[in-house]
Each structure stands twice: as structure tokens, then as C-alpha cells.
Structure 1
């Protein structure tokens, strides 16, 4: 038994990275507990395991005293001297009390301890591996699903994809390969539990880092992301290098880079806009593809009033307010959109201090968008507060 145990400990140390000493300490503790339980003993004992000799012995530890009150824990000085005349008061005497059939109990206990320690070690290794990958992207394989969750294999463990983290325009089938964003890694009594998402804005950010080398190496930075998963998203990008076109880098040659991300997200539309520290420019860029005539900033309320051409109002607002809503979330500013005619009536446009330039020749009315947008009238106005759409992550 000891030879087999030694071989098992060496194998575990090599393959699982579990220290032999750690397992031996656990076995000794378990054997002490087994001895007390099986032989109805409560004294202080020590287990001596000699793997080389193939022996396991139990020793009762008793303190040398003048007067014995508990024979399970104490021994008289007279009795101690019969064992060794050098013993003195408060010394500890060890007496072997190994039961005859202790080997069978020891073997069974050792097996249980080793199995438990291996399981705990494997769970610890998996947890350590995945806790470092929180807020990262991984490729998984769909295994199975129930009404609440989809279970995605990440190799060593199955991750959970909740229904509210699934894209509404996707249907998942077993063996499908999908990219997921690790939102949370929890340590539970049953081992690590990993939650993933397909709707988190972080997934979009990580996909751009994979597809765009300039983002990966830090030349281009993603400043903010606003996403309505499965439908439309906006990201703002910036580069400190004036020779680098941040937006063009993300789009790629003939749109190849952004198209790869669109394909991964099953056709989700993505607007890439240039970030600016100036809220006037940033808000105007964020409302792309709409053209903006002017942006009036209220710093105290972190709010803006945006003036757009009359025929661009529906485009600026977007279907069901989506374009304005995403722009507000992207910039972190409240956005109140007004048509040019209404702004002139209110006396807030034009302004001499306007910082935006507007070229009529650059404006092309989005006819397809307006024809398909039955929810909005060109005379509508909309006010969007970015705080109303912050997602709790």
C-alpha cells in the first residue's frame, strides 16, 4: 500500500502540481480523525507514516505529571520513568497504540484524502486560470441549453451564458463555435463557476483589439463603447499620433476589419466615430451618420442642445430614438436634438460663437433611412439622457 501511495504522490506532484508534503499532512490529519472515530478514542495522537518501510503507526502523546487526572492525556512520572528514566515533569511521552486492523482503515482514508485533494487542486488550478481572464474574450463550443442558460465549453470547464446575455438575433445550436466575454468567475463549493456574455460592450471592444493591430499595440485607443446588442453599436476611437487615422484603422482596407466583427456579431451595425476632448465635436461626431449644424453645451448640467438640418432630424434621432440614445451613452452627455427651423424660432441658432463648420455640399439625405423610419416625424424633437441607459455590469 505504501509503495502504491508513494507512486501516486509522485505522479500527482508531477502532473497536478500538488506538493507531496501537502498531501501527506492531509492524510495524517485524516488518519487521526479516522482513529478517533473508529476506535472511540479522544486522546492526543500522532501518526507516523514511513513510506520507505511501508508502515503506519499511531502514537498517543501524554504529558508527564505528578498526579494523573485524565489517563488519556496524562501519565505519571513513575510510569514515565519505567519507559525512560530521563523523563521529567511536563515532558511528553509517546506510546504506540496502533490498532491491529488500522492498515485497512488507513488505506481507505488515504484514498479518500488523495481523491479529495486532487479534486480541490484541479478546481484551484481552473479558478486561478480563469480569474485572470475576467473581462477577456474566449472562444467556446455550445454544449447544451435549457430555458435559462446555454452551457458553453471553454475546454476545462463549462461556462454559463444566461438568457439576458444572449443576443436576440442569434440562435444557438450544439457544437456551434462562438466568442464570449467572461463577465464573472466565482468560487463555489462545487468548484469555479464562470459566467459569459454575448451582449456586453466589452465583447465589442475585445473584438476590435483582435482585428485591429493598432488598437492591440496601443497606437489607437477605444475611448468608449455604446451597444444595443444584435442591432447597433457605436465606438469612439482616438490616436495621439497625428499621422494615424484612428477611424480608418478600425474600418480597415475596404472595410475588412469592421466587417469581420459585424459577421461575428451576426450583422450588428457598428458606427466608428472620432473621439474628441471637446464635447461640441464629440457629440457632433457621435450622432453620425447625421450632420450637425451646432452643439450648445451646458457644462453645469452636462447637457447639450444639438441643432440639425430639418431633413436630417429623423436620421439624427434614429428609429425609436436609437441613434440619439447610443450617442448619449457614448459621450456621457445629455442630448436634446432640435431641427434648424425650431432652433431659429427659439432664437438659439445661428450663433456667432458656434465652433462647428457646415458644408451643404457634404450633406446627403438618407432616403432609405427616412422611408423605413415610420416611427418618427421630421418635426419631432427628442431629449436623451445618457444616465438613463447606463447598464449595470
Structure 2
């Protein structure tokens, strides 16, 4: 090694941000193993790289002792004092043992160490760049697919999108650009592993943040999200400014904002409802698009009994209970839905709200 090598390390320090001293320390440690392996020795050695010239020297380290039992590890006091009169028992004597052709071995070892450290540093930079983006949205290009996952190119790293995290309506091919939600970032032995999802409710939330300036600016807030990916979702929104309509802001002029998100989610229907501190009002809003006549709240059971017009019962419940199920997820309340006729028949006889009545109603969580 020579000055060119030291200059190269300085360049790596500037470009990659890896301290030159750290690289040299790592090379010295690796050269100790290389020396022992290539020269079949078990002696204790130290490798020194001159920080100015790049000159490499190998020193055997021996303990000064009265009786030498292992010449590889020990040296007699008399022999030590031939080198320096100041040596005492138990001192460490360093004797240069640099092999004649050690430069070739050193160059190969240094290249391996530097390459490995650069790779580790780049992985570290990627990991730190993405760990702060957990629960954020990214756009990637489909590179390949196996039986379990899609692999997306995010630029500096490849991310994993399990097929179980795709929506039923998702159909992607090589080269397609898609948006996905980062669910987890891990630093593994093979480098950063970034896990993605297109079914996570967070994807819907982030898409609205991208499309709706009022949400990005904090004027409108998404309070809750309930999603059955690929089919239907509900979001509850609230405005910090009384003059700003939270629902209208999310829908956008002529529905352009919400339509952009629907397109990205392959036609997933999205209900945008107004959040309210009033449980009665919030539950009624959550059952949109159905009309609600009355909401009775039972705090102890965290349950809401909802009465709807007869012709709205099917709409309130939804196909296979989807509308009521999403409303329950959105609000965090159990919801019992009854038609106006059912309510008149049951409560007209002055019955109380009992477990028997719950069984007769449509109960969805």
C-alpha cells in the first residue's frame, strides 16, 4: 500500500461518509487474521498502517518472562534487553515480522474490507432513510414476483409486497408503478427489508393527505378509518375551522379528489362522513348513505341502537352487513339496526332493551 491507498480512503470518507480512521482500524484487524491464516502462525501480532504513507508493518507481540515455554508468545528477559535495556518482566515486546510479500495479501484484504464497509454503510443509510418513513406511502416499480410476494424497486432498495397484502382487484405486471403503504422496516443481515401493503387502512389515510391540501395543512383531520380493501371504506373527518367543510374538502370540486383515490384503489367505494363529539350524530353519519331516524346510546355496553325507515333497512345494513360492519369499526361502537316497523312492534308494547331484543335485531360489530 502507498499514498494512493490513503488518498482513496480519504475520497471514500468524503463521498460515503465513512471515517477514514474506522476503515483503517477495520483493515488492520482483518490483516491480523490474514497474516495468521496465510503464514500458519498462532503468535500474537499487531498490524500497523502508517496514516501518512500507507506503509504496513506486522509486529509479533511477546511477553517478557524468566522461563520461555512458548517462543511464539514469550521472550526471555535477556533477549528482550538485547533490544532495549529498559524492558522488565511481564512487559510486552514488539518485534517486526512483516513478510516480504505481505503487500499483495494486504491489498486484497483491504479491498474486501473497504467493499464490505461501503456496502454496510450504504445499507445503514438506506435503513435510516426508510425507518423514518414507516406508516408512509411510497411509489415503486414492479420488478419481479414469486409465489408469495411482489418485489418493488424503490430506487435504492427493493421492497416486498406480500400477495396477501394486495387488494382482490389488484392486477400488476412487470414495470407497473404502484403506490403502497410501508408497514415495517427491518435491518437484517442481508440489508434493510421494507414490507409494504395495499390493504392497510393507513394507505387510504395517506392518499387523502396527498390529495387534500386541507388535510396536509392540518385544517381538516382524519379521525378514523375503516376499510375492507378493494370493496368499500369509510373515513370520518373533522374540520378545525368552522368555515371549512371537511367532507366537501375531501370530495373536491366535482368529486375530483376522491375520484383520484378511488382510481388508485381500483374502484374501491369510499364513504366520507363527518366526525362528531356526539355519539348519536357520529353513528348516524357513519351509516351513510342510509337515512337514520333515531339513535339510542347505551354507554355501559358501548352500544348504539339505530332506527331507520323501513325502505332504508337494507341500505343501512349493506350487502352481507358491510355498511353496518364498517360503521361499527369506524365509530368503535356496537350497532344494532332496526327498521321503523320493528321498533314500533317491539317498543310499542313498552318492552325494555334486553338481550332478547338484541337477538331479534341485526347486531354487527
Same fold (TM over 0.5): yes
Q: CA RMSD in A?
A: 1.9
**Larger CA deviation: 3-12 vs 320-329:** 3-12
Q: Which residue of 2 aligns with 1:182?
A: 182
Q: Which runs of 4+ in 1 moved over 4 A?
A: 348-351
Judge conservation of contact 1:3–1:51 (CA < 8 Å) in 2: no
The within-5 A match list for 1:47-126 is 47-50=47-50, 52-126=52-126
Once the two structures are TM-superposed, the CA of residue 10 in structure 1 deviates from its matched residue by: 2.2
Distance 1:194 1:81 in 2: 61
* TM-score (normalised: structure 1): 0.87
Once the two structures are TM-superposed, the CA of residue 350 in structure 1 deviates from its matched residue by: 11
Distance 1:147 1:95 in 2: 60
Once the two structures are TM-superposed, the CA of residue 89 in structure 1 deviates from its matched residue by: 2.8
Q: Which residue of 2 aligns with 1:318?
A: 318
Distance 1:194 1:222 in 2: 26
**Larger CA deviation: 152-161 vs 250-259:** 250-259
Matched, 1:339 2:339: yes
Once the two structures are TM-superposed, the CA of residue 71 in structure 1 deviates from its matched residue by: 2.6
Distance 1:84 1:288 in 2: 93
Count how many residue pairs are aligned between Structure 1 and Structure 2: 357
Judge conservation of contact 1:212–1:257 (CA < 8 Å) in 2: yes
Task: Give CA deviations for 1:82-118 in whole Å, capped at 9, x if unaligned.
Answer: 1111222332221101122212211111111111111
Distance 2:285 2:64 in 1: 86
Distance 2:337 2:346 in 1: 13
Distance 2:159 2:313 in 1: 44
Q: Which residue of 2 aligns with 1:198?
A: 198
Q: Which residue of 2 aligns with 1:141?
A: 141
Once the two structures are TM-superposed, the CA of residue 74 in structure 1 deviates from its matched residue by: 2.5
Once the two structures are TM-superposed, the CA of residue 24 in structure 1 deviates from its matched residue by: 0.6
Once the two structures are TM-superposed, the CA of residue 321 in structure 1 deviates from its matched residue by: 0.9
Q: Which residue of 2 aligns with 1:365?
A: none
Task: Give CA deviations for 1:243-268 in whole Å, capped at 9, x if unaligned.
Answer: 22111111122222111111211221
Q: Which residue of 2 aligns with 1:303?
A: 303
Distance 1:229 1:2 in 2: 61
Distance 2:75 2:24 in 1: 29
Distance 1:320 1:348 in 2: 29
Distance 2:280 2:90 in 1: 83
Q: Which residue of 2 aligns with 1:20?
A: 20
SS in structure 1 at match of 2:12: helix
SS in structure 2 at match of 1:346: helix
Matched, 1:253 2:253: yes
* TM-score (normalised: structure 2): 0.93
Matched, 1:218 2:240: no
SS in structure 2 at match of 1:173: coil
Distance 1:350 1:164 in 2: 50
Once the two structures are TM-superposed, the CA of residue 349 in structure 1 deviates from its matched residue by: 10
Distance 1:52 1:19 in 2: 15
Distance 2:239 2:349 in 1: 33
SS in structure 1 at match of 2:301: coil
Q: In the superposition, relative to structure 1, how do residues 349 and 70 fare at CA in structure 2: closer, same or farther (>3 Å)?
A: farther
SS in structure 2 at match of 1:94: strand
Distance 2:52 2:311 in 1: 90
Matched, 1:382 2:362: yes
Distance 1:66 1:256 in 2: 90
Judge conservation of contact 1:44–1:60 (CA < 8 Å) in 2: yes
Judge conservation of contact 2:6–2:53 (CA < 8 Å) in 1: no
Once the two structures are TM-superposed, the CA of residue 129 in structure 1 deviates from its matched residue by: 0.9
Once the two structures are TM-superposed, the CA of residue 53 in structure 1 deviates from its matched residue by: 3.5
Judge conservation of contact 1:205–1:225 (CA < 8 Å) in 2: yes
Task: Give CA deviations for 1:20-53 in whole Å, capped at 9, x if unaligned.
Answer: 1111111000001111122222222111112543
